[in-house]
């Protein structure tokens, strides 16, 4: 306990230094953001004025050119009127027979002039239409520029409001975080209904007011690290408690998940503190004579029953091999049982994809466990379904998005997660079981969704089917920041500022 407190004290001092650095960095980023926004605002205003000047200049030029064209049109109309008068005069003179040829020449010339006049009028109309369209486009562009200017002003106001809100919420977030830390640290879970061995042990410790280590030191044994079943029975009888071999073997199997004739002292100390003894009955004599569910011996003609603990590893392998192959739990009976319901069919199914089990003894035990109650096919399906955990099958896009989220979490909290794992890695092996890893990340107060933890286990099971995580190498591999779009980068900056204010 002293070592753990010293470590927390050191971490707190380091965190205080980091918090001061984060606050300074936050202040610097704020000033920098304000300068950038001010420069952008000035730049945008300058651009808008330049565009307005340019558009005014274009409009003035268009008006001047339109005026010139109008003058040209007036001149052309005056010239046309002059030629019309000439034509009328010529027509009067053409009445004379001796000037018919000259009149025809004048008519041809008049026709040419009319064609030229029509062409000039058409060009004027086309130019006027073109200029009107250009004026309309310029007006639309001016409108868009004004709208962008309004949006930019709104964004600047929103950013300023967000920074002010972050400052105002800082104290409340820190208070809430501290309260949550105290609640988490105060939580102490106990396992109810301890095995009879630990009930008797607790009764002895309560009666004689001694600690577990003191009781174990008094046991007459050649080895102080572990004890035989007979040594434990004798020690219990010396303290007035009768205990049977099966009670000790059940306790060994419960705590170590293995059959053994030796019970380690460290295991007894560790597990004794994990059980809840509040509901333990005061009378030990009644409990001593209470019959067990299983008999002391099994007749030779009765087949040996297989317990759930004996097949749990095989069931876990079945679960994970279906998970990594993206097969839902609703299909588990199709892959394990198939259409038949015999040991042969189960053995055949487990020997092929996606399982490829080579341990025939494990397959035999699982077959016996599923068929030993001789239920109907539906009953066997229900037993198989209830003996495995639930899981969710993700699509490729969902898994990609979830993996990117994990990368960001590892990138952000890499040091905290590794430190939490090392607290549970007491032998400094650099690896943890799946259950220990879940406890370690829970200890760090970093919130992981169930789907994220399941994905972590799936990724590790693909590489190593021993249900362990080499946490340092795994976190180092995935602690990367994925590429982000411009919108995601803007959102990430806001989250980063909020994180700094919280820490």
Both tokens of residue 22?
């984060």
In a domain, 391, yes or no: no
Contact assessment for residue 110 and residue 87, using Cβ atoms and an 8 Å cutoff? yes
Q: What is the pLDDT of residue 282?
A: 44
User: What is the distance between the alpha carbons of residues 58 and 66, in angstroms, rounded to a whole number?
Assistant: 12
Q: What is the pLDDT of residue 288?
A: 45
292 DSSP assignment: P
Q: What is the pLDDT of residue 491?
A: 63
CATH number for the domain spanning 450: value is 1.10.238
Last residue of one domain, picked from the residues 164, 186, 208: 186
CB neighbour burial string for 111-123, b if at least 16 within 10 angstroms, e if fewer: eebeeeeeeeeee
**Could you give the angle at the alpha carbon of 194 between the alpha carbons of 218 and 319, nearest 5°?**
120
Number of domains in the chain: 4
Same domain (yes/no): 181, 251: no
Same domain (yes/no): 204, 174: no
Which structural domain range is residue 438 located in?
A: 396-502
Main-chain phi, psi angles of 431, to 5 degrees: -145, 155
Both tokens of residue 208?
């004689």
191 DSSP assignment: B
Same domain (yes/no): 89, 209: no
In a domain, 443, yes or no: yes
Same domain (yes/no): 351, 401: no
Same domain (yes/no): 50, 181: yes
In a domain, 32, yes or no: no
Residues recorded for the chain: 503
Main-chain phi, psi angles of 449, to 5 degrees: -75, 160
Chunked mean pLDDT (size 10), the chain, 503 residues: 56 83 89 87 77 84 86 86 86 64 75 86 85 84 82 76 68 51 45 82 86 79 75 85 85 81 84 76 43 39 68 88 89 82 83 87 85 73 84 88 87 87 87 88 84 88 86 82 56 58 54
Main-chain phi, psi angles of 218, to 5 degrees: -80, -10
Contact assessment for residue 194 and residue 201, using Cβ atoms and an 8 Å cutoff? no
In a domain, 36, yes or no: no
Same domain (yes/no): 404, 372: no
Same domain (yes/no): 315, 278: no
Q: What is the DSSP annotation of 125-146?
A: HHHHHHHHHHHHHHHHHHHHHH
Last residue of one domain, picked from the residues 260, 288, 316: 288
Same domain (yes/no): 217, 284: yes
Same domain (yes/no): 54, 161: yes
The span from the first CA to the last CA of the chain, in angstroms, equals 26
Q: Is 445 helix (H, G, I), strand (E, B) or coil?
A: coil
Burial of 81 (0-12, 13-18, 19+ CB in 10 A): exposed
Last residue of one domain, picked from the residues 288, 317, 346: 288
Both tokens of residue 5?
């407190």
What residues contact residue 470 under an 8 Å CB cut-off, 6+ apart?
430, 431, 460, 464
Neighbours of 318 (CB within 10 A): 22
Does the predicted TM-score (pTM) go above 0.85?
Answer: no
Same domain (yes/no): 495, 408: yes
237-241 own/partner pairs: CB under 8 Å, 24+ apart: 239/204, 239/207, 239/208, 239/215, 240/204, 240/207, 241/200, 241/203, 241/204, 241/284, 241/288
In a domain, 364, yes or no: yes
User: What is the distance between the alpha carbons of residues 323 and 465, in angstroms, rounded to a whole number?
Assistant: 13
Contact assessment for residue 364 and residue 343, using Cβ atoms and an 8 Å cutoff? yes
275 DSSP assignment: B
Radius of gyration of the chain (CA): 45
In a domain, 407, yes or no: yes
Both tokens of residue 466?
């021993």
HSE-up of residue 369 (Cα within 13 Å, Cβ side): 22
Q: What is the pLDDT of residue 501?
A: 56
User: What is the distance between the alpha carbons of residues 458 and 94, in angstroms, rounded to a whole number?
Assistant: 108
User: What is the distance between the alpha carbons of residues 261 and 246, in angstroms, rounded to a whole number?
Assistant: 11
In a domain, 103, yes or no: yes
Same domain (yes/no): 353, 421: no
Contact assessment for residue 331 and residue 338, using Cβ atoms and an 8 Å cutoff? no
Same domain (yes/no): 348, 422: no
In a domain, 34, yes or no: no
């Amino acid at each position: 306990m002293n070592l753990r407190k010293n470590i927390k004290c050191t971490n707190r001092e380091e965190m205080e230094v980091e918090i001061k650095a984060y606050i300074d960095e936050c202040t610097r980023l704020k000033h920098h953001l304000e300068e950038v926004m001010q420069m952008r605002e000035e730049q945008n205003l300058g651009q808008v004025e330049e565009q307005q000047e340019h558009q005014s200049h274009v409009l003035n030029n268009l008006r001047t050119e339109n005026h010139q064209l109008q003058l040209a049109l007036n001149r052309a109309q005056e010239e046309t009127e002059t030629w019309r008068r000439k034509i009328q005069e010529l027509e009067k003179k053409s009445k004379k027979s001796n000037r018919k040829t000259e009149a025809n020449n004048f008519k041809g010339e008049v026709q040419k002039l009319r064609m030229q006049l029509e062409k000039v009028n058409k060009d004027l109309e086309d130019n006027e239409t073109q200029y009107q369209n250009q004026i309309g486009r310029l007006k639309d562009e001016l409108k868009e520029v004004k709208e962008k200017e309004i949006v930019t002003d709104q964004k600047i106001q929103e950013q300023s409001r967000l920074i002010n809100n972050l400052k105002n919420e800082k104290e409340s977030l820190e208070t809430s975080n501290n309260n949550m830390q105290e609640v988490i640290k105060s939580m102490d879970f106990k396992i109810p209904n301890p095995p009879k061995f630990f009930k008797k042990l607790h009764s002895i410790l309560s009666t004689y007011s001694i600690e577990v280590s003191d009781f174990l030191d008094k046991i007459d044994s050649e080895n102080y690290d572990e004890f035989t079943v007979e040594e434990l029975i004798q020690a219990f009888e010396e303290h007035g408690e009768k205990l049977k071999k099966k009670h000790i073997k059940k306790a060994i199997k419960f705590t170590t998940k293995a059959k053994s004739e030796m019970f380690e002292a460290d295991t007894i100390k560790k597990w004794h503190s994990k059980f809840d003894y509040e509901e333990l009955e005061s009378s030990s004599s009644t409990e001593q004579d209470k019959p067990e569910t299983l008999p002391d011996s099994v007749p030779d003609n009765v087949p040996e029953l297989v317990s759930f603990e004996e097949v749990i590893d095989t069931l876990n392998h079945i679960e994970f091999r279906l998970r990594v192959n993206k097969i839902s739990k609703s299909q588990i009976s199709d892959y394990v049982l198939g259409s038949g319901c015999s040991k042969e069919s189960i053995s055949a199914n487990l020997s092929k994809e996606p399982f490829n089990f080579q341990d025939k003894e494990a397959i035999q035990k699982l077959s016996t466990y599923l068929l030993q109650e001789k239920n109907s096919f539906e009953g066997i399906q229900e037993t198989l379904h209830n003996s495995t955990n639930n899981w969710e099958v993700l699509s490729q896009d969902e898994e990609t998005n979830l993996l990117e989220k994990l990368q960001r979490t590892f990138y952000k909290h890499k040091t905290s997660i590794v430190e939490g794992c090392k607290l549970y890695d007491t032998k400094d092996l650099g690896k943890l079981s799946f259950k220990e890893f879940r406890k370690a990340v829970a200890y760090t107060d970093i919130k992981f969704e169930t789907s994220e933890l399941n994905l972590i286990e799936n990724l590790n099971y693909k590489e190593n089917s021993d249900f362990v995580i080499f946490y340092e190498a795994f976190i180092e591999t995935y602690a990367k920041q994925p590429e982000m779009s411009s919108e995601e980068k803007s959102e990430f900056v806001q989250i980063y500022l909020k994180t700094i204010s919280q820490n």
